[in-house]
Each structure stands twice: as structure tokens, then as C-alpha cells.
Amino acid sequence: MSSARKQLAKLERRNVCFNLSPAEHKAVCVHEAAHAISAMILGIPLGEGGVSVFKHGGVFAGFTDARTATRYGREINKLTKEDWQDAMCQNYIGPVAEFRHRKMIFGEGIEQYIPYWMSDFTAAVGAGTRRTAHESQVCASEEEWERNSTLVRYCFAMLCFPEREPYSIIHGLGEIGALVKGAMLAADKVCTDYAKEIEEFSEMLVKRGKVTQSECNAFAEKMKGE
């Protein structure tokens, strides 16, 4: 993997337009807000890093400290299909929310976003993602990178064309096409059903840049009471 590609993949989400416009800031905030709301719904604890969107070298980056492994464990091959699909949904929902927020169409512009969504998709299948308290980094060979890029394309094809049969995703991951499709559609449904909460949380990020762990917990409690 080239040093340039490592740098591109380093943060979970970077602004592909490399600018600090309000529209790009909002898109990153929606992405992270969706991860946060999904974690609250699924009972995934949010760590002390909370949720943040920040400037990094002239671009926006975001990070949600969702402790998915605490909820589901680290060996995804031992999960039930239901739990694996939920864990996938948690990872996929950021890119799905951003895709919808940007009013994107499959086949138009999605290619430029693939490097910046890569860690979400590789983490969902336990492939090539290293995570710290502040960032996610994709560690992959050129061959693995292309394979994972194909996985991202498949995922959005399933989202945009749900009437088609699930794609058979081999690539060393097994026959999980139906499971991946279910996770993408579940993520899309959460984005619809919890649009109000995602918007409210994203506005908190727009205005403040960070929502702390305790604030996330309070937001989750408020959601339960509504």
C-alpha cells in the first residue's frame, strides 16, 4: 500500500473536496451523527472519546468512539447472523446517511468517496482496519484495497437496487451477500426512522465540534423517554 494511499485512508472520514465549506462540514457531521444514533439504538456503548468532527490539515475529519467490540465481541465469525447484521449496520450507517444527505446517485460520483468510507466497510467484515481511541486506519495491500473497494460498490448497488438478488460476495468473505444487503437496508431504514434525531445530533456537532461521552449518554436517555 503506497504512503499516499495510507494517508488518504488514515482517518475514518475525510472531506474529499478538500475544503472547509459549511456544506462539507454538515455532511461529515451527519455521517458521525448517524454512527452515534445507531450505537444508541443497538446498545453499543460510546467511549470516552465521544463523537467529534474537527479540522485536520485543511479538511474535515470525524470520529465516533463506538465500542462495537464491547457489544458484540471481536470474533465476528462467531456471531449469530442477526448480531453480525446489526454490527454491520452500525458501520455502514455513516456512509449511508452521508450518501442520502448528499442526494447521491449510484454510479455518479461515488468512486471518489470510496477511500474515505473504506474503514467503515472493512471494519464491518473484520478486514484490514486498525482502530485507536481517535482514528481508524485501513491497512491493506493494493490487492486487498481493490477487493475492499469492490465490496463498497456492491454495498451501494444493493442499497440502490434492492429489487435485485443479493450479490454473491466471495473475496474471502464467504457467501454473505444477503447479510450485507440486509445491513445496508437496515441502515437506510434507521436513517429514515431516526432522521429527526440524526439531524439534531448533527447540529450539535456543527455548533460545538464534539459531543462528550456523558452528553451522548444523556441524549440516549432522552431518546428512550420520547
- pLDDT, tens only, 139-148: 556 777 777 7
Q: Determine the pLDDT at residue 14.
A: 43
3-225 carries CATH number 1.20.58.760: yes
Where exactly are the structural domains of the chain? 3-225
CA distances from 35 to 30, 79, 178 (A): 9, 21, 22
- Model confidence over 47-75: pLDDT tens digits? 999 999 998 777 788 899 999 888 877 77
Spatial separation of the C-alpha atoms in residues 93 and 112, rounded to whole Å: 18
Please provide the average confidence, as pLDDT, over all residues in the chain.
Answer: 80
Closest CA to 71 of 119, 32, 39: 39
Could you read off the pLDDT of 153-171 as tens digits, one per residue?
888 887 888 887 655 554 4
Q: b/e for 26-44, b at 16 or more Cβ within 10 A?
A: bbbbbbbbbbbbbbbbbeb
153 DSSP assignment: H
Strand partners, 137: 130
Angle at 60 between CA 57 and CA 62, to 5 degrees: 120
Neighbouring CB atoms inside 10 A of 80's CB total: 9
Between 25 and 14, the more confident residue is 25
Strands 210-211 and 46-56: antiparallel
pTM of the model: 0.83
Are 35 and 66 in contact by the 8 Å Cβ rule? The answer is yes
